């Protein structure tokens, strides 16, 4: 309950922003990395190129695509002068991962203010750039946005959207309490000077993941980071369509979590352990105690408080249809994550043996 009341509730809080004059908005470079994303770019890229913003460019890094991405981008470039394309060709000398593509895109950008998203993402409004970039003032160098997933039928989709909201409550709530530790590459903005001052992704360039969360972990402070939760600033993505793809996605993310700062890792682990201990205690006491009515009262009080906060956050993030499912998923999420970590441990041990 402490985490919900102190950290997570901050995500649902409505914030008033000062109105920014159109002529005072800085020029922006939107950077997107794409590999064999022809269909996603065809559908989503025009939504970015047609944003309501006075001065911006869109840089698409075509990373070794073998489909018709190059032809599509060439045709779109004829219609949209804002579009710039950086081509990466296969070269055995380099490790071709997203970090290399992002670095090339950032180096090709003409503006100090960067806004990042993925090829399978799209903004939910024409005000996306404006809402994200309007946070820059004073010492702000980094803005964390929300990147949700599309609503599809099925149990997996509901769980993916639930954990996406829960992750957002974590990183946004912590950032609001001056403890920023991660962001999502689906909707993230920072200054070009911050990127080069940090030497880009040099400290974790050998990892396939971490272009978003580890970069934020290294550069974000309680002073230079802001959070944007206006609905016009959101992006949506195509979710994994089967448990195998989701499982691989989760494993990639967990490989970076171990590199968070120690106090952040402790806080995150304490939340999961406290949740497990709470539900285990409820079950144990209901079976062993004659004061079951008090146990049920405490359990209901806990669920009601957390449910109210979660509903407020869901409303803020336009995910209201998850209210009922959040009560189902909340107790089991730590168990599922513990299982993934156990599988990763076994795989690592097996690889060492070989």
Q: Cα-flanking dihedrals φ and ψ of residue 114, to 5°? A: -110, 145
What pLDDT does residue 162 have?
A: 95
How far apart, in Å, are the Cα atoms of 255 and each of 70, 201, 208?
Answer: 32, 15, 9
Per residue in 33-70, pLDDT (tens digit) is: 999 999 999 999 999 999 999 999 999 999 989 999 99
- Residue range 7-241 forms a domain whose CATH class is alpha beta
Q: What is the C-alpha to C-alpha distance for residues 283 and 279, in angstroms, rounded to an integer?
A: 6
> pTM of the prediction?
0.92
Per residue in 90-115, pLDDT (tens digit) is: 877 766 789 999 999 999 999 999 99
Q: What phi-psi label fits residue 343: left (phi over 0), alpha (psi between -120 and 50 degrees) or beta?
A: alpha
Q: Is the dihedral of CA 336, 207, 35, 213 positive or negative?
A: positive
334-337 contacts, C-beta under 8 A, 24 or more apart: 334/272, 334/273, 334/275, 334/276, 335/276, 337/250, 337/254, 337/272
What pLDDT does residue 60 have?
A: 97
Q: Is the dihedral of CA 80, 230, 130, 235 positive or negative?
A: negative
What pLDDT does residue 262 have?
A: 96
Length of the chain: 354
- The number of beta carbons lying within 10 Å of the beta carbon of residue 53 is 21
Write out the DSSP string of 124-136.
SSTTHHHHHHTT-
Residue spans per domain, the chain: 7-241, 263-353
Per residue in 267-304, pLDDT (tens digit) is: 999 999 999 999 999 999 988 877 888 999 999 999 99
What pLDDT does residue 297 have?
A: 93
What pLDDT does residue 17 have?
A: 63
Strands of the sheet with 113-118, listed across from one edge? 83-88, 56-63, 28-34, 113-118, 188-191, 142-144, 225-227
What pLDDT does residue 95 have?
A: 64
- The number of beta carbons lying within 10 Å of the beta carbon of residue 19 is 6
What pLDDT does residue 205 have?
A: 87
Q: Bridge partners of 148?
A: 236
What pLDDT does residue 14 have?
A: 72
Q: What is the C-alpha to C-alpha distance for residues 211 and 63, in angstroms, rounded to an integer?
A: 16
Dump strand ranges (E) for the chain: 28-34, 56-63, 83-88, 113-118, 121-123, 142-144, 147-149, 188-191, 225-227, 235-237
What pLDDT does residue 278 have?
A: 94
Q: What is the C-alpha to C-alpha distance for residues 32 and 169, in angstroms, rounded to an integer?
A: 25
With a cut of 70, list the residues of the chain below it in pLDDT.
16-23, 94-95, 351-354
**CA nearest 148: which of 236, 227, 253?**
236
């Amino acid at each position: 309950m402490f985490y919900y009341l102190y950290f997570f509730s901050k995500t649902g809080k409505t914030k008033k922003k000062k109105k920014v004059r159109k002529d005072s908005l800085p020029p922006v470079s939107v950077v997107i990395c794409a590999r064999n994303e022809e269909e996603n770019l065809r559908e989503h890229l025009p939504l970015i190129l047609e944003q309501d913003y006075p001065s911006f460019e869109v840089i698409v890094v075509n990373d070794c695509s073998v489909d018709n991405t190059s032809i599509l981008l060439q045709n779109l470039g004829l219609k949209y002068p804002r579009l710039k394309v950086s081509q990466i060709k296969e070269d055995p000398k380099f490790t071709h991962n997203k970090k290399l593509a992002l670095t090339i895109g950032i180096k090709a950008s003409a503006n100090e203010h960067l806004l990042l998203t993925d090829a399978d993402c799209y903004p939910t409004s024409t005000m996306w750039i404006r809402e994200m970039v309007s946070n820059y003032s004073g010492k702000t160098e980094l803005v964390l946005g929300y990147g949700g997933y599309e609503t599809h039928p099925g149990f997996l989709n509901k769980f993916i959207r639930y954990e996406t909201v829960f992750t957002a409550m974590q990183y946004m709530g912590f950032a609001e309490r001056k403890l920023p530790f991660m962001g999502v590459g689906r909707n993230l903005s920072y200054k070009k000077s911050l990127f080069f001052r940090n030497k880009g992704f040099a400290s974790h360039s050998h990892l396939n993941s971490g272009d978003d969360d580890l970069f934020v972990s290294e550069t974000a402070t309680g002073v230079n980071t802001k959070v944007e939760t206006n609905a016009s600033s959101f992006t949506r993505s195509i979710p994994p369509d089967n448990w195998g793809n989701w499982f691989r996605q989760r494993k990639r993310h967990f490989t970076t979590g171990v590199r968070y700062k120690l106090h952040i890792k402790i806080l995150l682990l304490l939340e999961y352990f406290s949740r497990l201990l709470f539900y285990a205690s409820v079950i144990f006491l209901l079976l062993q105690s004659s004061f079951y009515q008090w146990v049920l009262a405490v359990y209901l009080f806990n669920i009601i408080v957390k449910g109210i906060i979660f509903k407020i956050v869901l409303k803020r993030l336009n995910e209201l249809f998850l209210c009922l499912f959040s009560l189902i998923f909340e107790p089991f999420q730590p168990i599922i994550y513990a299982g993934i970590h156990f599988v990763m441990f076994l795989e690592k041990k097996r690889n060492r043996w070989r």
